[in-house]
Amino acid sequence: MDEKKDRWRSTTILAIRKAGSVVIAGDGQVSLGQTILKSNARKVRRLGKGDVIAGFAGATADAFALFERLEAKLEQHPGNLARACVELGKDWRTDKYLRRLEAMMVVADKNSTLLLSGTGDVVEPEDGVLGIGSGGNFALAAARALMGFDIPADEIARRALAIAAEICVYTNDRIVIESIEIA
């Protein structure tokens, strides 16, 4: 198997925007190939002054470098997450060092939820639900199925990640959730 593909099988991150709150949830597993290195990693955190939440999938050191860069962009563009993300996306795509980073990020504030990738993409989901990482599609499908029920966003995230953990060997059930009230 291609070594580069092994690095991307790393986690599950899920963002949900529903009924006055936005949550980003992530599992705690860190894997290297078929080996679990750690089961309680924290891949979801608050940025800036606590008004932005973010989660990452991919190489851990790369993600920390991106968190730092995004925090710098948030300082340059306070209160404007979309602008900070577009500026980071430009840098990520054009900077020789950043282009080599292998990670994806989901970030959210009270106004928007965005996916950031190394190709310079800054994408906002139309339905308020976004999943990344090896178990991202499993969690995304489960979350979309649960969105129509009277269940709060954090509980949808817990249930969806639990489902992903049952399917994806690179995802576990040690879930960290950060949330922001938006209304």
Output the average pLDDT for the chain.
Answer: 89
Cα angle 65-68-69, degrees, rounded to a multiple of 5: 85
Q: For residue 146, which of 157, 135, 137 has the smallest C-alpha distance? A: 157
Q: Looking at residue 98, what is its pLDDT? A: 67
Q: Is 7 a residue whose pLDDT tops 90?
A: no
Alpha-carbon gap, residue 7 to 1, rounded angstroms: 11
Mention every residue, 6+ apart, whose C-beta is less than 8 A from residue 156: 16, 18, 143, 146, 147
Indicate whether 76 belongs to any domain.
yes
Alpha-carbon gap, residue 16 to 178, rounded angstroms: 11
Q: Looking at residue 53, what is its pLDDT? A: 98
- What average pLDDT does this structure show over 43-69? 89
Q: Is 179 a residue whose pLDDT tops 70?
A: yes
Indicate whether 55 belongs to any domain.
yes
Indicate whether 180 belongs to any domain.
no
Answer yes or no: 11 catalytic. yes
Helix (H/G/I), strand (E/B), else coil: 61 = helix
Q: Is 15 a residue whose pLDDT tops 70?
A: yes
Indicate whether 131 belongs to any domain.
yes
Indicate whether 125 belongs to any domain.
yes
**Can you read off the two tokens belonging to residue 132?**
């990344």
Indicate whether 84 belongs to any domain.
yes
Tell me which of 167 and 183 has the higher pLDDT.
167
pLDDT digits (tens, 9 = 90+) for 121-165: 899 999 999 999 999 999 999 999 999 999 999 999 999 999 999
- Please pick, among 11, 12, 113, 171, the residue that the annotation labels catalytic: 11
Indicate whether 182 belongs to any domain.
no
Indicate whether 167 belongs to any domain.
yes
| CATH code, domain carrying 145 | 3.60.20.10
Domain encompassing residue 26: 3-175
In which band, very low, low, confident or very high, does the pLDDT at 2 lie, cut at 50, 70 and 90? Answer: very low
Q: Is 101 a residue whose pLDDT tops 80?
A: no
Q: Looking at residue 142, what is its pLDDT? A: 98
Asked if 46 and 176 touch (Cβ cutoff 8 Å), the reply is no
Q: Looking at residue 59, what is its pLDDT? A: 76
Tell me which of 5 and 170 has the higher pLDDT.
170
pTM listed for this prediction: 0.91
Alpha-carbon gap, residue 58 to 76, rounded angstroms: 26
Q: Is 113 a residue whose pLDDT tops 80?
A: yes
Domain count for the chain: 1
